[in-house]
Amino acid sequence: MIKIREAQVTDLDDILQLYSLLYGKNVLQKDADVQRIWNRIITDQFYHVIVAEEDGKLVSTCVCVIIQNIPFDHKPYAIVDNIVTHGEYRAQGLATACLQEAQRIAEENECYKIMLTTQSKLDSTHRFYEKLGYSKEDSTAFTKWLF
């Protein structure tokens, strides 16, 4: 049975495994710094790590961050990133469910928009996001890597 929920402090190991799948390598070693950052993320009211859990295993995740804002009647906006589903669990609606939960959180926080970022260049991934209502025509994002 699939359960969609926000991550808990004890989910760090599973989150790191999913992130390793997303970025194609072991992105982070769990150490005191990573644990400290994770604890800060988990307790931040504007930072939401959403997970899909099946039989106690985390198989999909995304992050939804609520950004406070002054324009647009002081309405915040949301950014969704770090979207990944374990390969064995793809095409089962898990990423969709996680993204729907991100949208619910954004709406609950009265966000006027939700933006999704991806490093994927795959047309199939872009079509998936477009099917969920995201448009790559509305905004242009530029990335400047600082490291």
* Cα 95 from Cα 115, distance rounded (Å): 16
Q: 116 lies in a domain? A: yes
| pLDDT number for residue 144 | 83
Q: 141 lies in a domain? A: no
| pLDDT number for residue 37 | 94
With bands split at pLDDT 50, 70 and 90, how would you rate the model's confidence at 28? low
Q: 146 lies in a domain? A: no
Question: Which CATH number fits the domain that encloses residue 38?
Answer: 3.40.630.30
By residue range, what is the domain housing residue 49? 2-131
- What is the phi-psi region of residue 57: left when phi exceeds 0, alpha when psi lies from -120 to 50, beta otherwise? beta
Task: Give the mean model confidence (pLDDT) for residues 110-133.
Answer: 92
Angle at 42 between CA 39 and CA 46, to 5 degrees: 130
